[in-house]
Structure 1
Amino acid sequence: MRILPRNDPRQYDDLAGEWWRPDGAFAILHWLAAARARLVPPASRPGAILVDVGCGGGLLTPHLLGKGYRHIGLDVTASALELAAAHGLTPVRADAGALPLAGGCADVVVAGEILEHVPDLPAAVAEACRVLRPGGLLVVDTLNSTALSRLVAVTLAERFRGVPRGLHDPALFVDPRVLRRECARHGVTLAVRGVRPTVPSVAGWLAGVGRGRGRIVPTWSAAVLYQGRGTKNGHGNGGG
């Protein structure tokens, strides 16, 4: 694989074959997608739209089946969008900081494992909130900007078998206080909780056994990984 700067999106072109391997380099992203989907309720109205910012290869799609949404996925990587489209979502190539969607079009906006990759967090949050209709639901998950998070997600994780090196720039990791403040500026009150893989999930992942069957669960600490869920101020039922 070519050597690229940290957090360079071109790395995902080189790793395109890994997206849908449940025991591959993106194994943990499969677990996170399932945990993210558990925060999304069934659509409350016909024609409801779910906007998936940073959709990657579309790992959220199987977990939304039967929930009643039109699933629109946005990403900067064309190879990932091709895979996502093959799994049933509507692909749109776009940067998280400039979404080519109408304001208030989405019942749910999901931004999973993307905020720690964007160079302009305020712009990405503003766009996610802009396209969300009043009463709509915002769901996020990301890495905290702590020393422990940098140790676990970069220093240690990149030494393990199968974990891509250089995917993260720890300088972009997201302080939940900053994220909540940015969301509040745009009318979304975000509740945050820590999450983690279960011990058997991590043990199997490290051993290369059952890596596709991991599970993410809530935990008392948000020091490494956390989820956020909030509703946009205004009238309407939204997605939750």
Structure 2
Amino acid sequence: MPRPRNDPRQYDDLAGEWWRPGGEFELLHWLAAARGALVPAAPRRGAILVDAGCGGGLLAPHVERLGYRHVGVDLRRSGLEQSAARGMLAVSGDVTAIPLADECADVVVAGEILEHVTDLPATVAELCRVLRPGGLLVLDTVNDTRLGRFVSVTLGERFGAAPVGIHDPELFVDPGDLTTQCAKHGVRLRVRGVRPGLPGLIRWLFLPPGAKPSRLGRMVPTRSTQVLYQGMGRKQGGADVTGRWGRQAEDQE
């Protein structure tokens, strides 16, 4: 039977897609690379990066040389097993009640998870709670706009850019609301838009399944936040975020 929209059990159904080249989670790999490019090198030995809603551990290869102890938190065992296989410390838990100590993390990453939670304020509070003063919050999500819903659900599901039913558009996240929620917990969030690079997107959508190589494309920055956007901010008590968005190249396609 089809799952309800946004049912977490879909990730068990799709467990074989996390690392399949050109598979249904291909765009998530591009987003993970773009997130990883925003994470600086670990500030000290033993620094912790908490990956909230880590899924199958797609961020791991993009931060493995930065010197962090990479802790992944997720509800689904199928994803945690794949995260652990890639060297992460896998922790079973809900992002609305992260089972980690206060202020334990130097970096908290929340990639493509906020548009799946039913309690955004509680989730933001938890992300900020485990972040130490001066620590960095990095995230990306889908905007709560007509265009965001049309591209991510209507077009995305029709053309195979997103698994059918994986999103509930009622949970998409307004960046103004997200910025306000973060500010309540001492994090001044800055946002910018991202989009798939067109050559890679075309290859992914139109190449025959057997001809799709691994990692067909990448995300590039864009001025518009109407569909996908990234956020980055530091928790009060440390240096402000610089004007440069991490190590990600700013070149456009």
Give the TM-score normalised by structure 1.
Answer: 0.96
- Give the match's secondary structure for 1:36: helix
Please tell me whether the aligned partners of residues 22 and 30 of structure 1 are also in contact (alpha carbons under 8 angstroms): no
Q: Which residue of 2 aligns with 1:26?
A: 25
How far apart in 2 are the matches of 1:230 and 1:161? 33
- Give the match's secondary structure for 1:50: strand
- Give the match's secondary structure for 1:140: strand
- Give the match's secondary structure for 2:215: helix
How far apart in 2 are the matches of 1:235 and 1:191? 16
Q: Which residue of 1 aligns with 2:176?
A: 177
Residue 211 (structure 1) shift: 6.4
Q: Deviations over 1:170-204 (max 9, x none)?
A: 00000000000000000000000000011102111
- Give the match's secondary structure for 1:109: strand
Match of 1:221 among 212, 221, 224: 224
- Give the match's secondary structure for 1:150: helix
Q: Which residue of 1 aligns with 2:113?
A: 114
Give the TM-score normalised by structure 2.
Answer: 0.91
Aligned: 1:6 with 2:9:
no
- Give the match's secondary structure for 1:157: helix
How far apart in 1 are the matches of 2:240 and 2:232? 15
Q: Which residue of 1 aligns with 2:251?
A: none
CA spacing shift, 1:226–1:235, aligned 2, 3 Å: closer
* 1:1-240 equivalent positions in 2, closer than 5 A: 2-161=1-160, 163-208=162-207, 209-210=212-213, 212-235=215-238
Structure 1's unaligned 5+ residue stretches are: none
Residue 213 (structure 1) shift: 2.1
Q: Percent of pairs identical after alignment?
A: 64
Aligned residue type for 1:144: N
Please tell me whether the aligned partners of residues 152 and 162 of structure 2 are also in contact (alpha carbons under 8 angstroms): no
How big is the alpha-carbon RMSD for the aligned residues of Structure 1 and Structure 2?
1.6
| Count of paired positions | 238
Please tell me whether the aligned partners of residues 204 and 210 of structure 1 are also in contact (alpha carbons under 8 angstroms): no
CA spacing shift, 1:73–1:176, aligned 2, 3 Å: same
How far apart in 2 are the matches of 1:90 and 1:210? 29
